[in-house]
Structure 1
Amino acid sequence: MAPRSRFNPLLAAALALTVGAAGWAGWNGWDWYAAAHDDGAAFAAERDRALAAGEQAILNLNTLDHRDLARGLDTWEDSATGELRKQLTDGRGEFERQIQRARTVSSAEVVSGAVTELDDRAGRASVLVALRITVTAPKTEPVRKESRMLGELTRTPEGWKLSALGQPTVGAAPTD
């Protein structure tokens, strides 16, 4: 009688599957670790923080209620830094008089936004934000308009703040 073979095909298949699964899990674990510790992930997180702060600051600077003017203007100043903050602070008295006279309420909502530039090392960023702004004056229907704002951000110890705000130019072709 011939000796019985000790080779078990089921055991060999199970061993091959186990080795393959362990290799696959190790590869994916390493890939996950590398992605989680990649500079690109940190850069993307900083970009997201800049965008959120830029959208909120631009929203703040387009929202104001004459019935709670002091708080609204304080929010404006808290949203800004540098020269923009100085302009808001220096012009506050005149602006208060204008809004009290007009008795307007303006509110804004962010339609979309994007970071157009981010220099993480220098602490500067640019955002482009599309807004839907509603202005209500006494005895009139609310007026709604769409607006695009271009904001320059500076990173401060308190986080990203607006350092400049304006409207982007549209349709300007370069000339030689």
Structure 2
Amino acid sequence: MTAEGNTKRRPVVALVACGLSLVLALVAGVLWVLAATSSSVAYAETRDTALQDGTSAIIAFNTLDHKKVEEGLKRWEKFSTGPLHDEIKKSHQDYATKIKQAKSSTTAKVLDAGLTELDQQAGKAKMIAVVQVTVNIEGQKPSTKQDRYQAELSREGDTWKLSNLGTVPVG
């Protein structure tokens, strides 16, 4: 083959390579758009939001200062719904009295948490969490304990709230 033949083919090869690159870019773009709008992405976002809201609610329910009881109980109401919310409102005064008498403050930290169930359509979820709670009682050294919780969540608008919360026995 002559040098002149190679020179004539170069523009054709370059044009074919450019066209192939364009097609591949278009295919990749279409696949990316389809993936970004798929129902699995929406499900993952819902799952993440439910877990984050549930974790925040569990922290709120385990963090309380006996000097700011009303503020703490309002937080409980804010993070709850359904039967749990009704129970908090009904027993508000009883809870306030017991917390003030205990003269304790608690601070919670979720060590690990995960959803065990998620029904996007019904707006219901269940989760478990391991929570570390530091307890400060006036006149005593702070103590730390770990509890396991099982929670049920219900969606209200864009927010997931606790509708049930209970400890899980260890052993």
TM-score w.r.t. structure 1 length? 0.89
| Bigger share in helix | 2
TM-aligned CA distance change 1:5 to 1:99, over 3 Å = closer
Q: Distance in 1 between matches of 2:102 and 2:81?
A: 27
The aligned counterpart of 1:143 is 143
Shift of 1:162: 0.5
Aligned residues: CA RMSD: 1.7
Q: Distance in 2 between matches of 1:10 and 1:109?
A: 65
Q: Distance in 2 between matches of 1:62 and 1:167?
A: 12
Does residue 52 of structure 2 align to residue 49 of structure 1?
Answer: no
Shift of 1:168: 3.1
Does residue 15 of structure 2 align to residue 15 of structure 1?
Answer: yes
The aligned counterpart of 2:84 is 84
Runs of 4+ in 1 over 4 A off after TM superposition: 4-7
Map residues 1-176 of structure 1 onto 2, 5 A cutoff: 8-157=8-157, 159-169=159-169
Q: Distance in 2 between matches of 1:5 and 1:106?
A: 84
Shift of 1:67: 1.0
Helix, strand or coil for the counterpart of 1:75? helix
Q: Is the 8 A contact 2:147 2:168 kept in 1?
A: no
Structure 1: gaps of 5 or more residues: 172-176
Q: Distance in 2 between matches of 1:92 and 1:119?
A: 31
Look up the equivalent residue of 1:44 and give its one-letter code.
A
Shift of 1:16: 2.5
Structure 2: gaps of 5 or more residues: none
Q: Distance in 1 between matches of 2:114 and 2:8?
A: 61
Shift of 1:9: 2.8
